Amino acid sequence: MGEFSAEEKEAMKAEAGIAACNFVKDGMKIGIGTGSTVKYTILELGRRIREDGLEISGIPTSEVTEKLSIEQGIPLINWNECSGLDLVIDGADEFDSNLHLIKGGGGALLREKIVAESSAGMVVVADASKQVEVLGTFPLPIEVNPYGWEQTQRRIQAICSGPVVRRGPDYLTDNGNPILDAHFGPVISNPVEMEAQLRSIAGVVEVGLFTNTADVVVLAAPNGCEMIRKENARL
């Protein structure tokens, strides 16, 4: 999206965020994602609740999303009263032709994955800069346990040709964990295998590879939104 102005980029994000709301129906329990495009989804859901009488409830994926959802009047529920969700709407840092994703640039990957795996369908809102042939140009976020994170970093480094860097000396997720950003480069051609390999390392809490979870990408474009649907999409 480098050829577009900041205003044009923001308008496209807004269009995609709003278009994703068309998947939301009365009575649904939805996962509410995190990020600059999902923000517009939250604002639109709030408007539909106030103006159109939309009746939904949601579970947020971050404290930032929780705050904005409350401000918008979206009724929130917790996992004590909900064993599954009808839909999650979330963003992505990259996606490939199979709709495998890299997520976690905003640091909410663990909560986002819990919500995504608990949902009957996933809609991703994104702009054209997030569409890639092979995942990995965006550094892969990996949430790790604080204990022995240096050793976890070394084990990840053994399978990553680029640097594996802690995201700031004081940065912690909403769960109190550090994030390591692994600079693989565009080589993650088998993200399912890579996800399993990384998750097998002791100390890894969660990996920002979301494989076989997204059903539809609502892609922001200058002339309207494009819907990219997986062949076996649940939506």
How far is residue 198's CA from residue 52's CA, in Å, rounded to a whole number? Answer: 45
Query: What domain range is 174 assigned to?
Result: 140-206
Mean pLDDT of the chain: 95
**Tokens for 183?**
């600079």
Q: Quick one: 35 and 97 in the same domain?
A: yes
Summarised one tens digit per residue, pLDDT across range 26-57 is 999 999 999 999 999 999 999 999 999 999 99
What mean pLDDT is predicted for residues 52-65? 97
Give me the pLDDT at residue 118, please: 97
The CATH number for 180's domain is 3.30.70.260
Give me the pLDDT at residue 222, please: 81
Residue 75 lies in a domain: yes
Give me the pLDDT at residue 5, please: 84
Q: Quick one: 13 and 110 in the same domain?
A: yes
Q: Quick one: 97 and 202 in the same domain?
A: no
Q: Of 37, 34, 45, 35, whose CA–CA distance to 14 is shortest? A: 37
Number of domains in the chain: 2
Give me the pLDDT at residue 76, please: 97
Give me the pLDDT at residue 223, please: 82
Confidence of residue 99 (pLDDT cuts 50, 70, 90): very high
Q: What is the DSSP string of the chain?
A: -TTS-HHHHHHHHHHHHHHGGGG--TT-EEEE--STTHHHHHHHHHHIIIII----EEEESSHHHHHHHHHTT--B--GGG-S-BSEEEE--SEE-TT--EE--TTS-HHHHHHHHHTBS-EEEEEEGGGB-SSB-SSPEEEEE-STTHHHHHHHHHTT-SS-EEES-TT---TTS--EEEE---S-BS-HHHHHHHHHTSTTEEEESEE-S---EEEEE-TTSPEEEE-TT---
Say whether pLDDT at 128 is over 90. Answer: no
Q: Quick one: 185 and 218 in the same domain?
A: no
Give me the pLDDT at residue 173, please: 97
Confidence of residue 4 (pLDDT cuts 50, 70, 90): confident
Confidence of residue 2 (pLDDT cuts 50, 70, 90): low
How far is residue 201's CA from residue 182's CA, in Å, rounded to a whole number? Answer: 14
Residue 105 lies in a domain: yes
Active site residues: 112
Q: Quick one: 16 and 44 in the same domain?
A: yes
Q: Quick one: 104 and 218 in the same domain?
A: yes
Summarised one tens digit per residue, pLDDT across range 190-229 is 999 999 999 999 999 999 999 999 999 999 888 889 999 9
